[in-house]
Copies of this chain bind each other. A is one copy, B any other.
Amino acid sequence: MKGQAQSPALNGSAGYRMRGLQGRLIDALGEAIVSGRFQPGETLPRELELMAEYQVSRSSLREVLKVLGAKGLIETRQKLGTRVRRQDLWNLFDADVLAWHQRQGRGELILQDLIELRQVIEPAAARLAAGRAGMSDLRNLERSIATMRQSADDLTAYAAADVEFHMAIFTASHNVLFARLAHIVADFLQISFQIQQKALNDEDNRILDDIEGHQHVFDAINRGDGNGAAEHMLAVILNGKTSLFRAMGEPADPREEPGTSRPSGAKQKPRGS
């Protein structure tokens, strides 16, 4: 399970299989919606047309639409048809929705928002962990760091151990909502590693710093030092952030324009194909 394929759609987070007719259709339609091919507010083709376009039966199509509806992407009502919902209603904390964004241009935007979230969440999780970690939590953390040390030359193994460490922190926080975020962060980390793999190769002494950073987090948790744990965790994330941005060849500059709402401007797209 640990070494699951790095297939683009990080499966394992959704309760359905990505393979098969329906799975592919979920993927295709989800990505089409996220990509903006179907804009929010727009009503996408009726069931009959979709059946024809994607060559599936009504049952399969409807099950697909139900899934997308459960993820908050669409909303379907009788007589009105199926409409794409406002973007802030999409369930962004869903691995699939995240992955669809990832495969579009917006991926990097989400990535930055995710980093901001991590900067806030993970120090807090570490702080909680410092006060609540049990024996098994500490053992998991220790083991992850040990694996990181041992596999400083094997980047794949290193990445896996790193992911394990961060997930163990969330688990040790004993807060189910934080624990849920762990999986989101884990997916994020896997994407990050894919991006910065080359950068890490270039200067792998950074890995040693990284390990030390993780060690400091663990030490703080181990002695119940919540503030210390939070601080060191923040440092770890910020380090990862800078090296990630370097690998992306992007300025570590956050967004500059907060997205001015343009009421007009969007000319109506013609219906049909």
Name A's interface SS.
Answer: helix
Q: Which residues from B are CB-within-8-Å of A109? A: 176
The yes or no answer to A2 lying at the interface (CB within 8 A) is no
**Known: A63-B63, A128-B116, A267-B227. Contact between A177 and B93, CB under 8 A?**
yes
Report how far A73 CA is from B14 CA in the complex, Å.
9
Can you show 11 pairs from A to B with CB atoms below 8 A apart? A15-B74, A16-B70, A67-B69, A87-B176, A93-B180, A116-B178, A117-B175, A117-B177, A117-B178, A128-B258, A226-B260
Chain A residues within 8 Å of chain B by Cβ, number: 70
The yes or no answer to A224 lying at the interface (CB within 8 A) is yes
The yes or no answer to A147 lying at the interface (CB within 8 A) is no
Q: Indicate how many identical chains form the complex.
A: 2
**Known: A69-B16, A269-B234. Contact between A174 and B255, CB under 8 A?**
yes
Q: Which residues from B are CB-within-8-Å of A124? A: 116, 119-120
The yes or no answer to A113 lying at the interface (CB within 8 A) is yes
